[in-house]
Amino acid sequence: MQAKQMRATGIMEQVKDDALIQQVASDRSFLDQLAGQPTGPLTMIFRLCQGEVHFWTMPDILKEDQLERVKI
């Protein structure tokens, strides 16, 4: 099975929800050890509110203009 990548472009807005940020930091606490410091204060969450996404694999690299796009 090939890895599939998602590329998103568009307008982002920051989500300012302290409970959600704490939950994300807690769920990914393993990152604290990798970073050597608590990552919670560094966590920012964004929402893609307008834009498009497409999925691609390594064989698609030179065919991105031919890939299906999904509007958001």
pTM of the model: 0.62
Q: Supply the pLDDT for residue 1.
A: 66
Could you give the dihedral angle defined by the CA atoms of residues 23, 24, 26 and 30, in that order, rounded to the nearest 10 degrees? 170
Q: Supply the pLDDT for residue 42.
A: 85
Alpha helices in 1-72 (DSSP H): 18-27, 30-35
Every domain of the chain and the residues it spans: 5-71
Residue-wise pLDDT tens for the chain (72 aa)? Answer: 688 999 999 999 999 999 998 899 889 989 999 999 988 888 899 999 999 999 999 989 889 889 999 998
The count of other CB atoms within 10 Å of the CB of residue 8 is 13
